[in-house]
């Protein structure tokens, strides 16, 4: 007897599995809700005998090669712009190109890339991978142009001077510190408080001194070599942008949320100024961002190598600038939460508890030995405690004569000076920390009397939009923090003791929330302890841009529909408009 052959049944029409293993719905959407049609091209795939096609080894190798190429694209882009800046500053024939030609070429490229980025973000017609590449190129173009078109002595902080290797003179300032290492091939051997800026930890200055030795050893003249010191902070700023991208992706950002966060961290003028600043601000900001990224990775996968990498990042941050120690506060909170969760889960001091304590001890030893080495050296050799050299009360920047509320309280309407939103250095012109914060964030310490009408209009617009965007971003960040905390509490119900304290969502929200607040409060305390207008400069808390970007990026995923989704979209649009207006103002104003 012959039985009829059974017909092979296809997968149910409602739910299918994609080749990548994610759920794929019959309407062409995966479980994230994004349109992504199943490819009908079965080349390099084999039939598994059940009517489905599986990827062959050749396809997997091709995918791996493609992913590797993509992984090198963005770092290669950063290195390309750094090499461009080095050539334009160090090769005499390129350095001799008229400034008007350089400025005009960069401006045309900038506005073309900006228009393409806005078009892609609004219409969604440019794929995410290409949009990210476009934003990185736009950001690096802005910073590279600034480095090429701005001289070594423009818009610097406590720069000092250099006299070259031909004499034995020791010069003050950041430039003098770098020159000392370049000239004498050693760390300063005197009390670090004898000369201004020498109290800073030496990491940035050692790298810069070695960079000068390399360039002059390769045949570059001393003048262009010192100009090329700006290439290093340009590199740091590009790496900072890539770390921000990794943080945003780690938090689940995609689409417009990712673009908004990356746009803020890429085009904000403060990072453009730091890209050309030869002090240690940009490197310390990069190391702080690396610490945030590594801590978020450790929250997801608690391994000893990640913990030691985090310790090294914090230690190197301390070896670059002391105020990076602030990031240790939210990290310590996460450690305490995790340890408390382990203790509650075990009910006693068991094996897991001892393992956690051992790892924390290794973390403390690694970060302490690296980060505190400069402080220990100065205590042993010169009996001096860590601190900074500051101006005297006779300085025009001294704000100590004004009341505390005038300095750190809510500004009066007259303090904002919307008609001329620039920082006048003197405390008499403005002593309020928050006003100075916004002024220096967008325009550094420029005071352009006689600015033309159109650039002034752009500056005023950017100033107003940035104030509104900063307030909106702070509120949106708080809403995201609250949402993630409530989700963590809900998920931990009914689970074993300690599950809430060890949950990824709670540790993540606690780390980001306390980190944002810690940097803001430490900034306020710094301005109170050192009452000078220069203490209120935004460069001290430029890392807060990453927190604001993370809040915008996460809001798109946590509030996908409803009123909060519309509010989040409005905040992202407002922030991007503020940053774009500020960047355009810088270009039109010709403050490159």
Question: Residue 415: is its pLDDT beyond 60?
Answer: yes
CB 480 within 8 A of CB 292: no
Average pLDDT of the residues in 482-502: 85
pLDDT score of 388: 78
Confidence of residue 350 (pLDDT cuts 50, 70, 90): confident
SS (H, E, C) 333-352: HHHHHHHHHHHHHHCCCCHH
Tell me how far apart the alpha carbons of residues 76 and 162 are, in angstroms, rounded to a whole number: 32
pLDDT of residue 176: 94
Average pLDDT estimate for 271-279: 95
Query: How big is the CA angle at 198 (ends 196 and 202), to the nearest 5 degrees?
Result: 155
Q: Decide if 239 contacts 271 (C-beta within 8 A).
A: no
CA distance 134 to 343: 48
Reply yes or no on whether the pLDDT at 554 is more than 70. yes
pLDDT tens sequence across 419-456? 999 998 899 989 999 999 999 999 998 888 888 899 99
Q: What is the 3-state secondary structure (H, E, C) of 8-59?
A: CCCCCCCEEECCCCCEEECCCEECCCCECCCCCCCCCEEECCCCCEEECHHH
Residues 6+ apart with CB under 8 A from 320: 201, 203, 204, 280, 283, 284, 287
Note whether 316 and 280 are within 8 A (CB): no
Which among 70, 35, 31, 38 has a CA at the least distance from the CA of 53? 38
* SS3 state of residue 3: coil
For residues 576 and 570, give the distance between their C-alpha atoms in angstroms, rounded to a whole number: 10
Q: Among 274, 586, 286, 264, which residue's Cα sits nearest to residue 442?
A: 586
% of the chain surpassing 70 pLDDT: 87
Q: What are φ and ψ of residue 55, in 5° steps? A: -75, 135
- pLDDT tens digits, residue range 356-392? 999 999 999 999 999 999 999 999 999 988 877 766 7
Confidence bin at 498 (pLDDT 50/70/90): confident
How far apart are the C-alpha atoms of 408 and 391, rounded to whole Å?
20
Q: What is the pLDDT of residue 195?
A: 87
Q: Find which of 339-353, 379-393, 511-525 is predicted with most confidence, using mean pLDDT.
A: 511-525
Task: Look at 70 and 288; give whichever has higher pLDDT.
Answer: 288
Residue 6: pLDDT above 50?
A: no
Distance between first and last Cα of the chain? 89
Mean pLDDT, rounded, of the chain: 87
Whether 34 contacts 24, CB under 8 Å: no
> How many degrees, rounded to 5, is the angle at CA 103 between CA 98 and CA 104?
100
Do residues 289 and 244 make contact, with C-beta atoms less than 8 angstroms apart? Answer: yes
State the Cα–Cα distance between residues 541 and 547, nearest whole angstrom: 11
Long-range pairs for 331-336: beta carbons < 8 A, 24 or more residues apart: 331/291, 331/295, 331/511, 333/510, 333/511, 333/514, 334/295, 334/299, 334/507, 334/510, 334/511, 335/360, 335/363
- Find, among 419, 442, 416, 443, the residue nearest to 429 by Cα: 416
* Calpha distance 399→415 (Å, rounded): 14
Q: Residue 43's pLDDT is what?
A: 44
As beta bridge partners, residue 24 has: 16, 30
Q: What percent of the chain has pLDDT over 90?
A: 69
* Average pLDDT value for residue range 29-39: 40
Q: Which two tokens stand for residue 312?
A: 């090294």
- Residue 2 burial class via C-beta count within 10 angstroms: exposed 0-12, middle 13-18, buried 19 and up: exposed
The Cα–Cα gap between 478 and 518 comes to 14
Tell me the DSSP string of 357-394.
HHHHHHHHHHHHHHHTHHHHHHHHHH---S------TT
* pLDDT at position 42 over 50: no
Contacts of 490 (CB under 8 A, 6+ apart): none
Quote the tokens at residue 89: 């500053």
At residue 17, the pLDDT reads 35
Looking at residue 58, what is its pLDDT?
56
**Position 2 pLDDT exceeds 80:** no
Element (H, E) at 72: helix 57-90
∠ CA 216-219-222, nearest 5°, is 45
CB 402 within 8 A of CB 427: yes
Give residue-wise pLDDT tens across range 526-550. Answer: 999 999 999 999 999 999 999 999 9
**Of 82-86, 129-133, 448-452, where does mean pLDDT reach its minimum?**
448-452
pTM: 0.87
Using CA atoms, how far apart are residues 199 and 189, in angstroms rounded to an integer?
12
Q: Higher-confidence residue: 347 or 428?
A: 428
Q: Angle between the 304-318 and 328-346 helix axes, to the nearest 10 degrees?
A: 150
Integer Cα distance of 425 and 238 in angstroms: 29
* Structure-block tokens of residue 262: 């990356």
Average pLDDT on 2-14 reads 44
Q: What would the pLDDT profile of 564-583 be if each residue is shown by its tens digit?
A: 899 999 999 999 999 999 99
Q: What is the pLDDT of residues 223-263, one digit of tens each?
A: 999 999 999 999 999 999 999 999 999 999 999 999 999 99
pLDDT of residue 128: 94
Token pair 């460069």 is at which residue?
539
pLDDT category, 281, cuts 50, 70, 90? very high
Query: d(Cα 317, Cα 290) in Å, to the nearest integer?
Result: 9
Of 34, 1, 2, 37, the C-alpha closest to 16 is 37
φ/ψ of residue 30, rounded to 5: -85, -175
């Amino acid at each position: 007897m012959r039985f009829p052959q059974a017909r092979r049944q296809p997968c149910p029409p409602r739910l299918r599995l994609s080749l990548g293993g994610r759920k794929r719905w019959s309407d062409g959407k995966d479980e994230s809700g994004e349109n992504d049609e199943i490819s009908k091209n079965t080349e390099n795939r084999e039939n598994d005998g059940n009517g489905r096609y599986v990827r062959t080894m050749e396809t997997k190798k091709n995918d791996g090669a493609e992913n590797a190429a993509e992984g090198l694209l963005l770092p290669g882009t950063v290195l390309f712009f750094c090499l461009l800046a080095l050539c334009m500053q160090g090769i005499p024939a390129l350095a001799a190109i008229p400034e008007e030609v350089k400025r005009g070429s960069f401006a045309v490229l900038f506005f073309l890339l900006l228009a393409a980025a806005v078009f892609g973000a609004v219409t969604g017609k440019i794929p995410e991978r290409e949009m990210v590449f476009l934003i990185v190129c736009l950001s690096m173009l802005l910073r590279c142009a600034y480095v090429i078109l701005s001289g070594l002595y423009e818009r610097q902080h406590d720069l000092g001077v250099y006299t070259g290797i031909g004499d034995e003179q020791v010069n003050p300032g950041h430039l003098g510190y770098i020159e000392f290492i370049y000239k004498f091939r050693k760390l300063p051997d005197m009390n670090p408080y004898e000369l201004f800026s020498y109290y800073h930890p030496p990491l940035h200055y050692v790298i810069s001194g070695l960079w000068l030795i390399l360039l002059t050893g390769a045949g570059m003249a001393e003048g262009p070599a010192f100009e090329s010191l700006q290439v290093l902070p340009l590199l740091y700023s590009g790496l900072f942008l890539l770390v921000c991208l990794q943080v945003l992706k780690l938090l689940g950002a995609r689409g417009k949320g990712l673009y908004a966060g990356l746009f803020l961290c890429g085009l904000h003028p403060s990072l453009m100024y730091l890209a050309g600043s030869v002090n240690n601000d940009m490197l310390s900001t990069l190391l702080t961002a690396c610490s945030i990224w590594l801590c978020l990775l450790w929250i997801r996968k608690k391994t000893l190598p990640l913990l030691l990498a985090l310790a090294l990042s914090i230690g190197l941050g301390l070896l670059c600038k002391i105020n990076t120690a602030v990031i240790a506060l939210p990290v310590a909170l996460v450690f305490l939460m995790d340890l408390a969760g382990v203790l509650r889960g075990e009910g006693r001091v068991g094996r897991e508890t001892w393992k956690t304590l051992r790892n924390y001890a290794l973390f403390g030893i690694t970060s302490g030995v690296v980060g505190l080495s400069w402080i220990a050296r100065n205590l042993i050799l010169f009996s001096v405690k860590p601190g900074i050299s500051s101006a005297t009360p006779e300085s025009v920047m001294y704000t100590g004569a004004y009341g505390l509320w005038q300095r750190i309280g809510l500004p009066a309407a007259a303090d904002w000076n919307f008609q001329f939103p620039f920082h006048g250095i003197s405390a008499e012109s403005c002593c309020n920390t928050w006003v100075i914060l916004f002024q220096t964030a967008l325009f550094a310490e420029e005071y352009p009397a006689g600015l033309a009408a159109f650039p002034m209009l752009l500056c005023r617009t950017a100033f107003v939009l940035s104030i509104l965007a900063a307030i909106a971003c702070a509120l949106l960040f708080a809403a995201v923090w609250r949402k993630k905390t409530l989700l963590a509490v809900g998920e931990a119900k009914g689970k074993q003791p300690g599950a809430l304290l060890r949950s990824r969502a709670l540790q993540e929200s606690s780390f980001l929330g306390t980190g944002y607040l810690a940097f803001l409060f430490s900034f306020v305390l710094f301005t109170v302890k050192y009452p000078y207008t220069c203490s209120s400069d935004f460069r001290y808390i430029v890392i807060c841009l990453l927190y604001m970007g993370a809040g915008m990026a996460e809001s798109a995923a946590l509030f996908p529909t409803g009123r909060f989704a519309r509010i989040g979209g409005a905040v992202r649009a407002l922030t991007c408009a503020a940053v774009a207006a500020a960047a355009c103002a810088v270009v039109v104003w010709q403050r490159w």
